Amino acid sequence: MRTILFNKPYGVLSQFTDEGTGHPTLADYIDVPGVYAAGRLDRDSEGLLLLTDDGPLIKRLSDPSGHVEKTYLVLVEGEPIPDRLVTLAQGVVLAGSSYRTLPCEVRVVPNPGFEPRSKPVTPHGPTAWLEMRLREGKKRQVRHMTAAVGLFTLRIVRTAIGPLGLDGLSVGTWRDVTTAEMELLKRG
């Protein structure tokens, strides 16, 4: 079994083929046969992606019933006033559906000092960084959740999947998960 962590750059697809889109893919960064992403980050999102050849692990990490927490740092435009944060934490109904997100943890955090991304972010008003901890992953969920409370998402960086984080992993690089980390992940 092989499991790796990858710090996905902005603009990269979370798959090994571009299907004619012309966008960079995981194949441009990772030359490990037989591994697949356990969950996804959309092309505009950055950060931690776990890849493995362990099918049951992929299912556990991708299925909301597995309750594996994912941590995101989210740059939003707008004022993250307490009422908005409480609404986010309680769960919001996603636009165009009747689906209510599960409760999550959310708080304002200081600027994490990330390197600027390849396509600069240009806000038109006040901005703030939020840390959001979710136990589910609907398509573009973080963006839809912040929009539901009047905050426009400018940048998303996933910093952790369960107990595993980006620590020491530069953008565009990957490494194997250690035995000790696998034990933590299986317990978490």
Mean pLDDT of the residues in the chain:
91
Tell me, yes or no, whether 91 and 147 share the same domain: yes
**Same domain? 171 vs 151:** no
One domain for residues 73 and 48: no
Active site members: 42
Same domain flag for 23 and 36: yes
Whether 82 and 98 share a structural domain? yes
Half-sphere exposure of 21 (CA within 13 A, CB side): 13
Q: Residue 27 is part of a domain; what is its CATH number?
A: 3.30.70.580
Residues whose CB is less than 8 angstroms from the CB of residue 166 and which lie 6 or more positions away in sequence, other chains included: 5, 7, 47, 48, 159, 160
Residues 180 and 105 in one domain: no
Helix (H, G, I), strand (E, B) or coil at 143: helix
Question: How many angstroms separate the CA atoms of 19 and 49, rounded?
Answer: 20
Write the pLDDT tens digit of every residue in 120-156.
888 888 999 999 999 887 778 899 999 999 999 999 9
> What digits encode the pLDDT tens for the residues 65-113?
767 899 999 999 999 999 999 999 999 998 888 889 999 999 999 999 9
Question: Do 157 and 74 share a domain, yes or no?
Answer: yes
Handedness of CA 145, 151, 154, 156 (dihedral sign): negative
- CATH number for the domain including 149? 3.30.70.1560
Same domain? 87 vs 144: yes
Together in a domain, 88 and 107: yes
User: Strands 152-161 and 46-52: what pairing?
Assistant: parallel
- The residue range of the domain holding 114 is 69-161
Those residues whose C-beta lies under 8 Å from the C-beta of residue 66, and which sit 6 or more positions away, are 59, 60
Query: Looking at the structure, do residues 46 and 108 belong to the same domain, yes or no?
Result: no
Q: Mean pLDDT across the stretch 13-29?
A: 90
What phi and psi values does residue 162 have, to the nearest 5 degrees? 55, -130
Same domain, 136 and 56: no
Residue predicted with more confidence, 122 or 16? 16
Q: Both 156 and 173 in a single domain?
A: no
End-to-end CA distance of the chain: 19
What's the structural domain count of the chain? 2
